[in-house]
Amino acid sequence: MGLGSERRLLDNNDSGLSDDPYLSDSDDPEASAILFDADHTHDDTVAPLMLRRLVPRGGHGGGGPSRDDGGDGGGHGQNASFLPRPDPAMPVYVAIHRIRRLVIAAVNDNYTLEELRAPRLDRLVVRPLVDRLYNPNDPAIVYSLLANRVQFLRPRAHELLQQTINESRAILCELLAIRILRRFHEDHTGRSGLLLLAHILVSGFDPCDAAPEAIRARRPQWAVQERGGHERKLTGLELAIISESKLFIGSPACQRVVDAVYRGVVVYTPLSFVDILPDHYKHHPVSLYEPRRAAILNHHRLIVPQIRNGIELLHFIVLLVLYMLTVTHYGFGQHLAGVHVNTYETFFNVFAAGWVLEQFAAIVEHGWEVHAQNLWSFLDLTFVFIYGAYGLVRTVELLIGSEAFYAMPVLCTAAPVLLTRIAFTLMPDNIVFIALHAMMRDFTRLTFIAVWCFAGFVMGLLLLARTSGDEKLEGSVTWATITKWLLWIWFGLDGTGIERAADFHLILGPTLIITFAFLGNTLFLTILVAILTNTFSKIISNEAAEIQFRRAVLTFQGVKSDAIFSYPPPFNLLALLIMLPLRWFVGPVVFHHVNVAVIRAVNAPLLLLIGLWERRKVWGGRRSRNSRWRKWKYFAGLNPHGDIQNIFSAEPPPEVMDALEKMDVLSDIVVVDRELASARSPRPSSGSGSATPLSSISVRRRKMSDSGSLRRFEGADK
């Protein structure tokens, strides 16, 4: 009996549950580097899992007693044991199909996120599955859950009736991934725990690991580049992005990894789909960065997302400045072979070509599905289209020696795109820009449908003009004129089309025009406003999750695998013309050394600045920051509320802390975990007015600071 049979047992008044935020340790780049070995043993032994009704929580599962309920058998007093599971890591292929069988068996009806997080469903389904699947020796379990979510969300024509049920199963997969990642987070603290979480999310896993040879032989993906055994692998974070698992990405454990990768604390060699300039001689596993041990000219710091975003912003500013100089100095320059040439235009064309190459490499690195999640992807694509049109027209002008300057007006249309793009880049966490990105996709899709449908009205009116018998009308009315009239009617600007409707046909002409006015100006605009309003309201209601999701996308795309990104425009054009052919004439070792030497030479000033800044940040410590703040002490005093901030800027002195400890012992303060309490506490009977005593509820005690005597710990049942 699956969840569909359990729906009648649920109380509609059950409230949803939310995960408690986990107080993670702060990560600084001062700790020594630790490497995580991605290799693990596989065991083909899989316990039989014939399941239709999930066993309620309680007893000992495959991984020991559940930490969430205290092991007393749950709210119903049952003491059922789970089927044994293998302790070694399970092959990815087997784990994916095991999860798929469990989720399909558990969910056979439509459920929303709130229903799946309700206390009773959480106790009957979610927690038993977490206890079954969690294995501290299997870091690929989260990847397997996200892979199943991607598959459940993929629309299939032969399963249209099951699509809503598959969406519920996808939600369950995301909830399970959140809970299991949270257990990894709680069981492994400190920097070693951060390293494990990073391995779970950003290390590559092969979905065909231990798959039958028939499955491996018919992979639909095209031939990939050699990566020394890391081909055809995907990361859990990438699957979370393409499946838009915003709850998962917004979880504290995932955000801890995203923040560490963004700041360069966690470093690794990323996996990509296609590299234009591949250099895969060395593969660096997931590790923690140590600035003191790194080279002063460390070219790997160019792919740290925080640094990479600054570099890309600098590149775009240079592109914008060259663009403004090109269009403002229009008409100035010199004539070469009968062609007017502008020096600024030459520099702009060369730099813009390198910038376009960089954008193309970013698209093919992880595919358009991932790149489209970037806020300014549609702006970059629009500029590439305008620049391509300008380049085509300008090439024709140079070949025929024309002085008409048709290309420059085309280039001027890129100004709104470039100025808007700089705003998106400077404020990537602004919810207005995030909503605009999502609304632009809906607007483009709906506009395409409208243009497709309303093109029939243009064709109908044009044919009426041809068959009207009026030679004057037939010669004066073209498809462009009809399109202009209909567009004015659509936006309510002019009624010329309605006035001239009878010229096409006394009855059919006004009928077509008025029908278009009703459909376009009333129905279509109403639908468009409703869709955009719904999209905007969804984004605003989940503002924090949307911002965290976009930041994760920016972080994932910032870690570049292609060596072409290490060459700034326009040097990437030279690298494409020189280094790429060189790769076919020398071995991988020689090419790697030559490539690294050239990258360090081209980026020497920037790498030196990055190396000195990171060493100063590590060696300076708090002293430099305090001295910097003392310099601005006067300006801080201008704040009328500065005293409130000042008393919380440092820990109280020891004598005050001792007095507070005598007044209030924090170990006696009980913090009730709402999720655990609702899942463990039985509902009071209708004839009893007594509630469950607080001492019988599983509680979580924690202390509230990082100081020496205040440490977080978990308490057992009272």
Q: What is the pLDDT of residues 557-615, one digit of tens each?
A: 888 888 899 999 999 999 999 998 998 888 889 999 999 999 999 999 999 999 888 88
Q: Give how far Cα 574 sits from Cα of 135, 493, 569, 693, 707, Å.
A: 49, 51, 9, 74, 54
Q: Inform me whether the pLDDT recorded for 431 exceeds 80.
A: yes
Residues whose CB is less than 8 angstroms from the CB of residue 632 and which lie 6 or more positions away in sequence, other chains included: none
Return the amino acid letter for 521.
N
Strands 287-288 and 334-336: unpaired
* 250: its two tokens: 């917004």
* 309: its two tokens: 């975003």
User: 173 with 145: CB under 8 angstroms?
Assistant: yes
What pLDDT sits at residue 311?
92
Return the amino acid letter for 145.
L
Q: Which of 261-265, 552-556, 595-599, 657-661 has the lowest mean pLDDT?
A: 657-661
Give the mean model confidence (pLDDT) for residues 21-40. Answer: 37
SS3 of 627, please? helix
User: 34 with 93: CB under 8 angstroms?
Assistant: no
Cis peptide before 252 (omega within 30 of 0): no
In DSSP terms, 336 is beta-bridged to 339
Give the residue carrying structure tokens 């030196």: 608
Q: Inform me whether the pLDDT recorded for 15 exceeds 70.
A: no
What pLDDT sits at residue 396?
86
Helices (H), 467-542: 471-476, 479-491, 496-499, 501-504, 508-516, 525-541
Strands 287-288 and 60-61: unpaired
Q: Inform me whether the pLDDT recorded for 84 exceeds 60.
A: no
What pLDDT sits at residue 255?
94
What pLDDT sits at residue 515?
87
Q: Give how far Cα 292 sits from Cα of 261, 611, 621, Å.
A: 18, 9, 13
What pLDDT sits at residue 500?
80
Q: Inform me whether the pLDDT recorded for 220 exceeds 60.
A: no
What pLDDT sits at residue 221?
56
Q: Inform me whether the pLDDT recorded for 11 exceeds 90.
A: no
**Above pLDDT 70, what percent of the chain?**
71
Question: Quick one: three-class SS letters along 376-413?
Answer: CHHHHHHHHHHHHHHHHHHHHHHHHCCCCCCHHHHHHC
Q: Which of 285-299, 302-316, 322-336 has the lowest mean pLDDT?
A: 322-336
What pLDDT sits at residue 613?
87
Residue 294 is classified by DSSP as S
- The H or E element spanning position 575 is none
Give residue-wise pLDDT tens across range 33-65.
Answer: 444 444 433 333 232 222 233 333 333 333 433
Higher per-residue confidence, 631 vs 141:
141
What pLDDT band is residue 98 in, cutting at 50, 70 and 90?
very high
Q: Which of 386, 323, 296, 396 is nearest to 610 (CA)?
A: 296
What pLDDT sits at residue 41?
36
Q: In angstroms, rounded to a whole number, what is the distance separating the alpha carbons of residues 291 and 299? A: 13
**Above pLDDT 90, what percent of the chain?**
29
Give the residue carrying structure tokens 């989940």: 542
Nearest 10 degrees: Cα torsion 500, 503, 505, 509: -10
Ranked by mean pLDDT, which of 268-282, 293-307, 621-635 comes out on top? 293-307
Q: Inform me whether the pLDDT recorded for 308 exceeds 70.
A: yes
Q: In angstroms, rounded to a whole number, what is the distance separating the alpha carbons of residues 67 and 691? A: 24
Higher per-residue confidence, 305 vs 463:
305
Residue 60 is classified by DSSP as E
What pLDDT band is residue 392 in, cutting at 50, 70 and 90?
very high
Q: In angstroms, rounded to a whole number, what is the distance separating the alpha carbons of residues 422 and 416? A: 10
What pLDDT band is residue 467 in, cutting at 50, 70 and 90?
confident
Q: Inform me whether the pLDDT recorded for 230 exceeds 90.
A: no
Q: Give how far Cα 604 sits from Cα of 593, 597, 611, 617, Å.
A: 16, 10, 10, 20
What pLDDT band is residue 157 in, cutting at 50, 70 and 90?
low
What pLDDT band is residue 19 in, cutting at 50, 70 and 90?
very low
Q: Which of 518, 483, 476 is nearest to 497 (CA)?
A: 483
* 226: its two tokens: 């050699």
What does pLDDT average to over the chain?
75
Q: Which of 198-202, 337-341, 540-544 has the lowest mean pLDDT?
A: 337-341
- The H or E element spanning position 245 is none
Q: Inform me whether the pLDDT recorded for 254 exceeds 90.
A: yes
Backbone angles phi, psi at 485, to 5 degrees: -65, -45
Give the mean model confidence (pLDDT) for residues 20-39. Answer: 37
Q: Inform me whether the pLDDT recorded for 156 exceeds 50.
A: yes
What pLDDT sits at residue 253?
94
Q: Inform me whether the pLDDT recorded for 227 exceeds 50.
A: yes
Q: In angstroms, rounded to a whole number, what is the distance separating the alpha carbons of residues 425 and 92? A: 38
Q: Inform me whether the pLDDT recorded for 6 exceeds 70.
A: no
What pLDDT band is residue 208 in, cutting at 50, 70 and 90?
confident
* 364: its two tokens: 């093919």
Q: In angstroms, rounded to a whole number, what is the distance separating the alpha carbons of residues 238 and 240? A: 5
What pLDDT sits at residue 526?
87
Q: Which of 606, 615, 575, 559 is nearest to 308 (CA)?
A: 559
What pLDDT sits at residue 271?
79
Q: Which of 253-262, 266-275, 324-333, 697-706 has the lowest mean pLDDT?
A: 697-706
Give residue-wise pLDDT tens across range 621-675.
Answer: 444 444 444 444 444 555 676 677 677 777 888 888 888 888 877 776 655 444 4
Q: Which of 395, 479, 380 is nearest to 437 (CA)?
A: 380
Please calculate the CA angle 529-110-248 and round it to the nearest 5 degrees: 75
Q: What share of the chain is helix, strand, coil (3-state, %, to 5)?
A: 60, 5, 35
Return the amino acid letter for 515.
T
pTM: 0.72
What pLDDT sits at residue 229?
61
Give the residue carrying structure tokens 């020689």: 590
Q: How many CB atoms lie within 10 A of CB 182?
A: 19
Residues whose CB is less than 8 angstroms from the CB of residue 75 and which lie 6 or more positions away in sequence, other chains included: 123, 679, 680, 681, 682, 683
- The H or E element spanning position 426 is helix 415-426
Higher per-residue confidence, 286 vs 367:
286
SS3 of 671, please? strand
Transcribe 84-116 into DSSP letters.
Answer: P--SSPPPHHHHHHHHHHHHHHH--S---HHHH
The radius of gyration computed from the CA coordinates of the chain, to the nearest angstrom, equals: 31
Give the residue carrying structure tokens 């929580």: 57
Q: Inform me whether the pLDDT recorded for 16 exceeds 70.
A: no
